[in-house]
Amino acid sequence: MSDLPETVVFEHRSACLRDNPLGDPHTRRVEVHLPPGYDGVRPFPVIHWLPGFGAHPSLTGRALAFGTTVADRLRTAMSDGRVPPALLVVPDGTTSYGGSQYIDSASSGRYAGHLAEVVAEVDRRFATRPEPRWRAIGGKSSGGYGALLAGMTSGLFGSVIACSPDAGFEHSYLPLLPRALDTVRAAGGMDALLARRSTGPVDGPFMVAMSIIAMGMCYAEDARTSPSDALPCDPDTGAFRDDVWRRWLTHDPVRMLDEHADALTRLDHLHLSVGERDEYGMHWGARALHAALDAHGVPHHYREHEGGHHGIEHVFTDALAGLRHVWSGRTVGTCAV
């Protein structure tokens, strides 16, 4: 019987994030949830789970008084066989603007590189199966986006689970832009809005505005880009900037398929899901991505579930349950899954 803790948290000093353009910390926490039966000797698969925009990089907290934590729910699902036993790793991809999209950005930092560092460090510290076919990446919202991008570009993962990912930017970003501009204006300008990061109030309109600003900073190509210049339109006049918007679109998974569909086709498993009433239009972006995947002949599992963008953590269990067929018949720790 192992006396190892269920959760291990360690700090990783990231070479990729050292001296990043935003001056954000390069030492980051990594949260690792150990599966039932883990003894530090027999190797297990690994699931890297990417939190969404603005979320604390942890699966141990509860936003509401109801239900259990995501970590507890998934550990129970591993115990009863619904989800195959695996280490569950949560990296920290936050920035001073709220999120990194888990990409290498000229103006935000090298977060795809940081993710690759975390993968290597987890394999070094724990008993893992260090091959892509035994390694999955998943997440919700910006985390689902990051999982898709990692599946397209890194070669590190054999399975991708994207829940309500940023995709179809015309659907998921453009409708939010006027709301973000209203919030910037109501705050008294960009500098006044950004000052609320430390003073509050951190309400819904603030988070929507910050998400649009963060996307601009992630997709900018110059480290000197200001938050105002990173937006697809002038925050004072509303004048649209076609060149900035075209740059954003190059990061849209729907449009990236022309170049990266082959990488997704080589995956062992690709899961895409979304709530049919997503408050941010992610359901239309997911539908566009689903159609594009079909058009490119990329095998995938697509599901629309009841609900919106928030309070859907229960769908993570079903999403990760799909890994059973990937790892079926292969010895995993003490279990054959």
Kindly give the residue spans of alpha helices, DSSP state H, lying in 83-141.
111-125
- Predicted local distance difference test score (pLDDT) of residue 2: 57
Mean pLDDT of 53-67: 81
Has residue 239 got a pLDDT over 50?
yes
Has residue 64 got a pLDDT over 80?
no
Distance CA 120, CA 166 (A): 26
- Predicted local distance difference test score (pLDDT) of residue 5: 85
Mean pLDDT of 66-73: 86
Rounded to two decimals, the pTM is 0.94
Instruction: Region of 155 please: left (phi>0), alpha (psi -120 to 50) or beta.
Output: left
Query: What pLDDT digit, counting tens, does each position of 136-178 carry?
Result: 999 999 999 999 999 999 999 999 999 999 999 999 999 999 9
CA dist 107 → 22, 86, 227 (Å) = 7, 34, 10
Judging by DSSP bridges, how do beta strands 301-305 and 269-275 pair with one another? parallel
Mean model confidence pLDDT for the chain = 94
Kindly give the residue spans of alpha helices, DSSP state H, lying in 200-322.
204-219, 227-230, 242-249, 253-265, 282-295, 315-321
Distance CA 11, CA 26 (A): 10
- Predicted local distance difference test score (pLDDT) of residue 4: 78
Q: Determine the length of the chain.
A: 337
Query: What pLDDT digit, counting tens, does each position of 201-236 carry?
Result: 999 999 999 999 999 999 999 999 999 999 999 999
